[in-house]
Amino acid sequence: MRIDGNAESPRQSMSWLHTWASLVLGWLLYAIFVTGTLSFFQNEISIWMKPELHQSINRKDQSQQLQSAIAYLQQNAPNASAWNINLPNARSTTTDITIRGENEDPRARRGGERVILDSVTGEKLQPRETRGGGFLYRFHFELYGLPRGWARWIVGIATVLMFVAIISGVITHKKIFKDFFTFRSGKGQRSWLDGHNATAVLALPFHIMITFSGLLLLMYSLMPYGVSALFPEGRLHFLQAQRAQLNGETIRSAELASSSQKLDSSKRNGHGEGEKGRLNKERSRLEVEKAPLADLTPMLAQAQNLWGDNPVASFNIISPNRQNSEVEIRATYSESILNRAIVPTLIFNGVTGELISQPQQLKISVPIGIYNTVTVLHEARGVDLGLRWLLFFSGILGTVMVASGLVLWCIKRAPQQQKQGYKNFGYRLVEVLNIASISGLLIATAGYFYANRLIPVATENRSFLEIKIFFIVWLLTLLHAALRPHRNAWLEQLLFGAILFCAIPLLNALTGGRVIWSSIAEAQWVVATFDLMSLALGMILLFIFYKVKKHKVAGIHKTKKNINLESVVARGEGQ
């Protein structure tokens, strides 16, 4: 119901919902979008933050890289329970090895000693301690410094509001698709609305998918009651059943109930008769007669011929140098995202080199196929570089959409503030939070990268210090935005951020990384792309600084209808 007593149309009733659902947690959503977008390339970020790895260049063919890895393992860990070898690829230039000790489960998902080898020389590399891109990835859905359950609830609520904002935004703007093809520059609020609409519509399928899939990934935290009712044994058994379903296996309810009753105590608490049985099995495995490991080169060639353009990604060698040895070879890309990035696999006898099996992906149900598709796209698991870049740029559009919406909130209310002659507390608070969130988060991210290179390598707990500096810098941008006039705060943070990002290639070259032109010449795009994207972001921030700086403060008094960002932020000078 409107103030004049007339009934509101559905579109009008959705307008306030869109506005306030977007604003309440808009700053958190912006941080989630920024860190989530960067997480599409978390591996590349981690490599850049370990300049000790930049000397490794993916020059040799896979057979030579494999032989270098096997030579190292035979010399340093011949009695291990398992070797896992990840070969260099388009997103990594090193050979990454995981060694599981004699008493470790050879098929465990976690644990083991990790070793990184130069893909050319086979030399062992010692990278610095850092969380790398993993910190940004975890912050995306778990924030930082909060209990995991609470953090996921907060992110989940923000995601729900984001979904509400998207749907209500589509309903509110009746000409949203028509306006997508229209951008009226220099029209103040109209220009900002055009830009907001364009970034929303251009990647609308992505926005809906990324939000809906985010809720799916968090649904077991947000709605745990159904899981608790169906799996009273605990979350572990549910995750095992879910993993089997998502991998395309068929499990009947009766089988689940039966396996639930047979679930031994070792799987729940790590001790008891089940643990004794596992240890006995482990001893039996170690007592297996020794046998030389077969040459892996023919196995590699067979996999390469079979998979064609899908490169071999890894070798998992179970019980190396024993009679019961097996070699699992996995491809890089999945055949279909419907199967949740389950990649083609070949299993060989580790002694004779004979092909034992070639697991086939089973047909899955429609609901699981939908779940797999949207969650794999959200996490970009097993997708090729082309799709990864598409998701990345869609994430940038989502980030711009959220940022422009936050700025637009201030622009729409600027005439009222001008009319009353002062800024009320709520309006000023939004101005400050906008600056600290939009430009401040970017500066804090740059500070994280600088801390990675400037903190001495031998410093204890240096990865924690990197994260600490990230939040300190972010807090300083908030204080700066609160203490400085609005226009000055925007200009200073934009310029500072531009300088920081433009200087990152120089920072890389001066602190042990590979010089940008050398990375390009050697086709080491994992490193070069990071430098180039940082330089591009710095230039974009410099362009925005120039546009804001160019606008004259006097323009605010010409007309209340022609209000744009520059005129809004300029008003802060008088306060």
pLDDT value of position 199: 82
Cβ 159 vs Cβ 398: under 8 Å: no
| pTM of the shown model | 0.84
Interior angle at CA 66, CA 352 and CA 344, nearest 5: 70
- Give me the residues of the chain with pLDDT under 50, please: 1-2, 249-273, 275-276, 279, 553-575
Q: Which two tokens stand for residue 221?
A: 């935290």
- 313: Cβ–Cβ under 8 A, 6 or more apart, which residues? 86, 87, 89, 330, 331, 332, 343
DSSP letter for 513, please. S
Which of 441, 463, 440 has its CA nearest to residue 49?
463
- 553: Cβ–Cβ under 8 A, 6 or more apart, which residues? 487, 567, 570, 573
Q: Cα(454)–Cα(504) distance, rounded to whole angstroms?
A: 12
Q: Taking the CA atoms of 340, 342, 343 and 344 in sequence, report the sign of the dihedral they define.
A: negative
Return the amino acid letter for 30.
Answer: Y
Q: Cα(432)–Cα(487) distance, rounded to whole angstroms?
A: 11
Which of 202, 105, 206 has its CA nearest to residue 162?
206
Q: Which two tokens stand for residue 180?
A: 């997508």
**First CA to last CA distance, the chain:** 38
How big is the chain, counted in residues?
575
Which of 551, 459, 438, 425 has its CA nearest to residue 28?
438
Instruction: Give the burial string for 427-442 (b: 16+ CB within 10 Å, else e).
Output: bbebbbbbbbbbbbbb
Residue 308 vs residues 59, 86, 303: alpha-carbon distances, Å: 19, 18, 8
Return the amino acid letter for 413.
Answer: R
Q: Pick left, alpha or beta for residue 132 (phi over 0 → left; psi -120 to 50 → alpha; otherwise beta).
A: left
Q: Cα(332)–Cα(344) distance, rounded to whole angstroms?
A: 8
For every residue of 80-112, DSSP letters joined together read: -SEEEEE--BTTB-EEEEEEE-TTS-TT-SS-S
Q: Cα(61)–Cα(301) distance, rounded to whole angstroms?
A: 11
Q: Cα(222)–Cα(426) distance, rounded to whole angstroms?
A: 31
Cβ 352 vs Cβ 324: under 8 Å: no
Q: Cα(54)–Cα(130) distance, rounded to whole angstroms?
A: 15
Provide the strand spans (E) within 332-451. Answer: 345-349, 355-357
Q: Cα(144)–Cα(474) distance, rounded to whole angstroms?
A: 13
Interior angle at CA 90, CA 86 and CA 95, nearest 5: 25
* Domain layout of the chain by residue ranges: 51-127+288-357, 422-575
- 474: Cβ–Cβ under 8 A, 6 or more apart, which residues? 436, 440, 441, 443, 444, 447
pLDDT (tens digit per residue) in 478-512: 999 999 998 899 999 999 999 999 999 999 999 99
Interior angle at CA 573, CA 567 and CA 574, nearest 5: 105
Q: Cα(375)–Cα(372) distance, rounded to whole angstroms?
A: 5
Alpha helices, DSSP H, located in 270-328: 273-286, 297-307
Q: Which two tokens stand for residue 228?
A: 């608790």
Q: Which two tokens stand for residue 135?
A: 């910190």
| Three-state DSSP state, 23 | helix
Q: Taking the CA atoms of 364, 366, 370 and 371 in sequence, report the sign of the dihedral they define.
A: negative
Cβ 284 vs Cβ 328: under 8 Å: no
Cβ 419 vs Cβ 441: under 8 Å: no
Q: Pick left, alpha or beta for residue 145 (phi over 0 → left; psi -120 to 50 → alpha; otherwise beta).
A: left
